[in-house]
Structure 1
Amino acid sequence: MQTKFLTTCLVSAVALLAASAQAADKEIAVIVKTVNSTFWQNVQKGATDAQKEAAGYSMTFQGPAAESAIADQVNMVENAVNRKVAGIVLAPSDPDALVPPLKKAWEAKIPVVLIDSMLSEAGKRYYQSFLATDNEKAGELSAKALIAKTGTTGKIAIMSYVAGAGSEIGRVGGFTKYIKANSQLQIVGPFYSQSQMATALNQTTDVLAANPDLKGIFGANEPTAIGMGRALAQSGKAGKVAAVGFDGNQDLQGFVKDGTLEAIAVQGSYQMGYLGVQSVVKLLAKQPVPEFLDTGVVIVTKGNIDGTDAKNVLY
């Protein structure tokens, strides 16, 4: 009786392990910078829709509590590799820290598609495709929108997010380069919010108080731009200091409509998720995918916020 019981348990355990292995073998792991952002939740919507179209594949969606929790994201990638997932879609929070776990994925022959942010040169061989906004171009477009309101002289501030993140380097770099090449505007900052809205609010409040002659301000990602907008409203500077934000959730749309923000640069976040999963499925089917795919950006203002182009990217 006891032998029969033990045999039954053993068979059940083997079956469970086999089922788990089979499930992981068909799992596409989507790992983003944080789950606590509507931007990344919109990426999840796109990824989920692509998974529904991918016969036989499941999807998991993960991210740390904060974009600055880089070690947590590294662990998530390592865990995905250890459970032998079919493929990985990753938005790396740090260009260097994510290289070692992706090397393990490459060694395990797990295809990887990056979205939003690039890795450093050392990691270029460990992924097959990169899907993102052309962040440098997006930064330039944001600078153009701000100069159109401030003119080419005076003082502006940059409210950024995580120093060294691939998207931040391109986005703030493109913004700064354009400002310096096309104006005499003096730049204050950048200040880094660590993608925390409350931090951005406090930093912006301090910048506005310390620079009463400030003519313009740029908020370089969603939580930073929301904090910036709230600080402008609370300080009575909304509409008086020209402001351009980045990304397009309901809060930022409201700031554009009421004039707190002159414009927002909105990425194709849904497309990142959708095309990211779709690209992994193609790689698993031995189909070609582009090395880089620009998922686009739209400058949304009060004048075009109800138009088709804006509605296709707002969330």
Structure 2
Amino acid sequence: MTEEAEHGSGGVYSVEGKEFNRDSRYITTRIVAAPRPGTDDRPVEAGRYRLIAAYACPWANRAIIVRDLLGLGDVISMGNPGPTHDADSWTFDLDPGGVDPVLGIHKLKDAYLKRFPDYPRGITVPAIVEEATGEVVTNDFAQITEDLFFEWRGFHRADAPDLWPAGLRDEMEQVMWRVYTEVNNGVYRCGFAGSQEAYDDAYDRLFTALDWLEERLGRSRYLMGEAITEADIRLFTTLVRFDPVYHGHFKCNRSKLTELPNLWGYARDLFQTPGFGNNVRFDQIKAHYYVVHRDINPLGIIPKGPDLSGWETPHGRGSSGNKTQ
């Protein structure tokens, strides 16, 4: 028996046999500098595409941050659905008249159906839509941010960070996979567990990984050393939601982020870096989880807390991890 838990944030997911599962099947089309013969690749072209990304969604938030860090704001336009999508689709309820001003649609689903009239899966963000046709191109959140770095290099700002340093990529892939399975997805595995046993296992896996990250970040400023990489972006979007949402709403309550010194300093370090904190909307984050997840929070009441003013306090991070330079 499968019980659908939610769609929209990085894929459809369900409670299947008491254990949370995420449907990770995405549209495989890519936007690349040199489209491959025999594929449905689309060419990189300034002004051709629109990134649709909700600030509420951690998977979409990655794309928003990468687009900003690389300086692609004038190259790829962006539309932002509201945080409380309905059962059918993410909606543009933050825009005048509830319509995306470029695509002219009320629901992101319209862009999916424009290309795939019988699209069978969830309407997810992030998604990239071709402006002229109004058709969705891709919704593969991991591939989107990777391609923004590798395929759109000709449009990066001059001082854009090297998010995929060549000498670190093998190790970085391993780190990112553990972050994805145990932390990014791990909080959902806790929150949507269908049995005590499934929850206990998810909880233990999550905090084993967080303890590993806490130790790792005691040795270096960022996950891969002294410079920000894609790995940091992927971890950040979960950490920034941890105390406002995951600690209580998803029962990830062994420790708050603020009680893990290295992770808390690291998260504040990133938050205070241009491209990160300016792309966080705590009100939208809380509204999304507490209003949409009625199976967990039936009355849709949004808690007032916690106090989030600490994100702007000095982080004390330097070149040697938790020690100030």
Larger proportion of strand: 1
TM-score (normalizing by structure 2): 0.28
Larger proportion of helix: 1
TM-score (normalizing by structure 1): 0.29
